[in-house]
Amino acid sequence: MQSKITGSRILITGGAGFIGSYVVEQLLKQSPEKIIIIDNFMRGSKENMRSFIDNPVVEFRLGDIRDLALLEDCVKGCDYVFHMAALRINACAADPQEGFDVMMGATFQLAQLCVKHKIKKVIYSSSASVYGLAQHFPTPETDNPYNNQTFYGAAKMWGEQLFRSFKFMYGLDYVALRYFNVYGPRMDTDGKYTEVMIKWLDCVRNGGEPLIYGDGSDSMDFVYVEDVARANIAAMEADATDEAFNVGCNRETSLKELLEALLSVNNSSLQPAFRPANSVNPVSRRLADITKAERMLGFTPSVSLEDGLIKLSSWYFELQKAKTAQ
């Protein structure tokens, strides 16, 4: 059967970002007619798009999804939309007004434009944040969102409900993907909200003490970025609509285990140092039930945590080497 991607025109909001750039790379393998990317480089970069920025199939529009005229220009004529542009969870907390404008206002405008321009399907990047501290582990999609305490999680839940209501009112097809903890090359390394993995990799490079705040028992479900991109492609190709899917690995890893794995793949004998927790983390556990995505999208993660950490480490060390050589 021919791929729905072949010959299609596809818009990716936030396509210069971490996950979006991998989605573009995977889409390009199936010969789309056009891929339009809109990104304001708030976090994304030209470097993330290096492998495809000169591809004539790709049209990059530097701009903001809050710019309605520009957004309409991007949506017009497209068949499919991946909506990935968003602020990070801490950025939403730091500036809820901007969080509202980007995550809710612009998403609402986009949904309206998708109806107006008869988009065949929207693939919406949601988040495991919608669960807050979940009721069940592994967490199925049927767990309720009432434990979420963050503005970001509230905005993602609202986005899911927005598309649900637009499906009901206007027949706009969509799928929401609730990513768990995504990692891999191109993750943010020097922004304000650098992830703990990168800080620990700096310790491996410089011989510093890797710090764990709290007792290290908080857990996450790590999923490699290329697997997340594959889930996006599967969600577009599948007949599924009006559904939310967890995208994780169904493997629970504590912070302490994560550090051990990261040190082990780098043959490092560094010892962690524990510090008192500096903030209260209301979400102490994450573990995705991914049976629904397996059953309805044919999605199974393919990269183990160890293999993913090896890829992340070598990418990061190369990047640092290149920076010092400059």
Ligand X SMILES: NC(=O)c1ccc[n+]([C@@H]2O[C@H](COP(=O)([O-])OP(=O)(O)OC[C@H]3O[C@@H](n4cnc5c(N)ncnc54)[C@H](O)[C@@H]3O)[C@@H](O)[C@H]2O)c1
Which residues contact ligand X by CB under 6 A? 14, 16-20, 38-44, 64-66, 84-88, 102, 125, 127, 179, 181-182
Distance CA 92, CA 86 (A): 9
Tell me whether residue 200 or residue 268 sits nearer to ligand X (CB atom): 200
Tell me whether residue 87 or residue 113 sits nearer to ligand X (CB atom): 87
- Burial (CB < 10 A; 0-12, 13-18, 19+), residue 114, is buried
Question: How far apart are CB 277 and ligand X at their closest, in Å?
Answer: 21
Q: Which two tokens stand for residue 235?
A: 């969600």
292-303: burial string, b at 16+ Cβ within 10 Å, e else: bbeebbebebeb
Tell me whether residue 10 or residue 86 sits nearer to ligand X (CB atom): 86
Using the 8-state DSSP alphabet, how is residue 276 labeled? Answer: -
Are 178 and 128 within 8 A, CB to CB?
Answer: yes
Distance CA 35, CA 166 (A): 24
Pairing status of strand 80-83 against strand 253-254: unpaired
Tell me whether residue 95 or residue 270 sits nearer to ligand X (CB atom): 95
Question: How far apart are CB 68 and ligand X at their closest, in Å?
Answer: 12
Tell me whether residue 193 or residue 274 sits nearer to ligand X (CB atom): 193
Distance CA 47, CA 185 (A): 12
Q: Taken in order 109, 176, 83, 173, is the CA torsion positive or negative? A: negative
Question: How far apart are CB 309 and ligand X at their closest, in Å?
Answer: 15
Using the 8-state DSSP alphabet, how is residue 208 labeled? Answer: P
Pairing status of strand 253-254 against strand 219-220: antiparallel
Tell me whether residue 181 or residue 313 sits nearer to ligand X (CB atom): 181
